[in-house]
A and B are shown apart, each in its own frame.
Chain A
């Protein structure tokens, strides 16, 4: 497939429409400014500049996680671990309680003179339950923190943005940021080295 053909296709599954540049101008809510970069080093330096300028509602978009970008953006540590930990703890507790309740309380069965309940023979199953719920906690914790699934995104209206999953890097500053200004923000992104800046409307 040719690259031109691909960039012409619009990314959203929710609205699989081909929108021309003219149609974009007709919508009227300003979403923000989107600046394109070619290399990881350029993007990393630009991100540090946007961070130092004190913006809050902005983000960097890359085809793969770039090493050092969290520090360049000034992001705090991810909180996914708490979801994993509490889900895993729940799994272990529920596993042990289930085995005790089923085999020692609700319907006790004597097998080979073994105790009705023991944490030793219960361990393998409770251990698997820990991992099972911990894995669900990690995936769904990540999706919850990222507010995904979100099938519609104003950025999908930008034709050039479709290359973010291919080979380009973007910095987006949202218009709702208190420091956002059409002129100053654009100047900052230009100074940061972007060769292409456009406005995204929703």
Chain B
């Protein structure tokens, strides 16, 4: 009898250490520590690492602007483009940069809707990355049109010819998709910044900082009546950004898929482009966050767990991209279309085979290393793989664009595209533009969403003992 009574009491086993989930913020840091530590990156004397990164970035940005000036003043002939290769590095770079932006929106919007609380440590920097990547992306379509001063004809504005843009063209859909994407990303980013700008305002020690942070904080007080509307608006913006980000790269893929070029005219393009965009974007987030967390001493907020989770996303999307490459080949054979099959054979074994196999090596093979935990939890190793991902995804767009165009239906047109120095330096230069903007962001704005990170700590939960909850007495 006594034995039975003892057995009826449920035994709650203690969780073994290896099954305990890693906390999002290490060492149970208090709220004040979080604001001091994160805001501190944008305060005080400019650290040496910042100058070491900023000066070369700025110089490379100036190279980019010089190349663009040379292009506009001379003409697109300074690039290596030659019919039938009418699109080459320009559109490759455009798709590359716009794809990078997609991880920022995935982290800020989709992971928010999926209640992935780990996103709070990386969403601010990833959203900034999105905005700067879209700026770099937007540059290329604008300068590749040749007569840049007529770029406003893409917009639905009245002009002297009384003619309107042609809305049946996917290229025009792209104008709307990319400009909407940029605007909405900026709004979302700014809205997330408002409470943190108030923190910066309240910490400011100089009048100019007080004035500027105060102006952009709009008088935020942390009122709960305000938070109530703020959280609803944040949720709605996340809900709007999710279909937006999926539509943007789908529409970018329509630039190709709606045409009739073999190698482009496939229905797999929208999902395949979106997966590739997220893959490359996470690669870039890792390339940026691993040095940043180390140089700005943010290891307790952007933890190994965060890096590991991002590696899993890279591995998953990299595998989807690998599947898409295989499926494209299968359909090229299965469709029985000789032109389509030739385009794919030419990709893998033609004159650009070297580019194709770099793409496969970097995108399909390299992320498979993340099946091993040691690979996911070793930040500088992850950094190297993330660089491979960036390289691979640039080559993917190069392969899609150039190999499909360089041998068109008329063999007398066939040729081999080679970039000129202007092509090369304009592209390298956009990294200078991107890094200059990112470093300015890291120097003047909180690189981690302070109020959001505070909100995911155990002491923020009023029902947790660390949040001050008293044990219940029945």
Structural contact, B167 and A121, CB atoms closer than 8 A: yes
Report whether B224 and A40 are in contact in the complex, using a CB–CB cutoff of 8 Å: no
Verify A63–B237 contact, CB threshold 8 A.
Answer: no
Q: Which residues of A contact B207 (CB under 8 A)?
A: 16
Could you tell me the distance between the alpha carbons of A134 and B242 in the complex, rounded to whole angstroms? 13
Task: Please indicate which of the listed interface residues A99, A128, A142, A143 has the most CB atoms of chain B within 10 Å of its own CB.
Answer: A128
Binds A, one of B49-57, B228-236, B302-310, B346-354: B228-236
Taken together as a complex, chains A and B put the C-alpha atoms of A143 and B226 apart, in Å, by: 9
Is B223's CB within 8 Å of the partner chain A? yes
Q: Name the contact of A84 in the complex, choosing from B225, B236, B455 (C-beta under 8 A).
A: B236
Across the interface, do B173 and A166 meet the contact criterion of CB distance under 8 Å?
no
Once the chains are docked, how many angstroms separate the CA of A65 from the CA of B215? Answer: 22
Size category, A interface: 35 or more
> Chain B residues with Cβ under 8 A from A149's Cβ?
218-219
Interface residues of A in 134-173 (CB under 8 A from B): 134-136, 138-139, 141-143, 145-146, 148-153, 155, 162-167
Q: In chain B between 166 and 185, which residues have their CB closer than 8 angstroms to a CB of chain A?
A: 166-168, 170, 172-173, 176-177, 180, 183-184
**Would you call A90 an interface residue if the criterion is a C-beta within 8 Å of the partner chain's C-beta atoms?**
no
In this complex, what residue of B is CB-closest to A111?
B168
Decide: A39 and B202 in contact? CB cutoff 8 A. no
Query: Interface stretch among B27-35, B375-383, B400-408, B409-417?
Result: B27-35
Q: Tell me whether B454 and A132 are in contact (CB under 8 A).
A: no
Q: For the complex, what is the distance from the CA of A60 to the CA of B228, rounded to whole Å? A: 11
CB-CB under 8 A from B226, the residues of chain A are 146, 148
Q: Evaluate contact between B232 and A142: CB separation under 8 angstroms.
A: yes
Q: Produce 1/0 per residue, B20-62, CB < 8 A to A.
A: 0000000000111001000000011000000000000000000
**Selected contact of A125 from candidates B167, B202, B231, CB within 8 Å:** B167
Q: Which of A52-94 contact B (CB under 8 A)?
A: 59-70, 73, 75, 77-81, 84, 88
Residue from the list A122, A129, A139, A164 in contact with B222, Cβ < 8 A: A164
Q: Is A42 an interface residue (CB 8 A)?
A: yes
The interface bits of chain A over 107-119 (1 if a CB of B lies within 8 angstroms of the residue's CB, else 0) are 1010110100000
Contact of B210 among A3, A13, A141 (CB under 8 A): A13
Q: Are B231 and A135 in contact (CB under 8 A)?
A: no
Contact check, B451 vs A13: say whether CB atoms are below 8 A apart.
no
Q: Are B247 and A166 in contact (CB under 8 A)?
A: no
- Tell yes or no: B291 within 8 A of A by CB: no
- The distance in angstroms between the C-alpha atoms of A135 and B186, with both chains bound, is 10
A99 CB, min distance to chain B CBs, angstroms: 5
Give the CA-CA distance A106 to B188 in the complex, in Å. 36
Interface stretch (choices B131-139, B193-201, B261-269): B193-201
Residues of A within 8 A of B168 (CB): 103, 111-112, 114, 121
8 cross-chain CB contacts under 8 A: A63-B31, A63-B35, A107-B164, A124-B177, A129-B180, A134-B240, A149-B219, A166-B202
Binding site for A on B (CB under 8 A): 30-32, 35, 43-44, 156, 162-168, 170, 172-173, 176-177, 180, 183-184, 187-188, 190-191, 195, 198-199, 201-205, 207, 210-215, 217-233, 236-237, 240-241, 243-244, 247, 251, 254, 451-452, 454-455, 459-463, 467-470
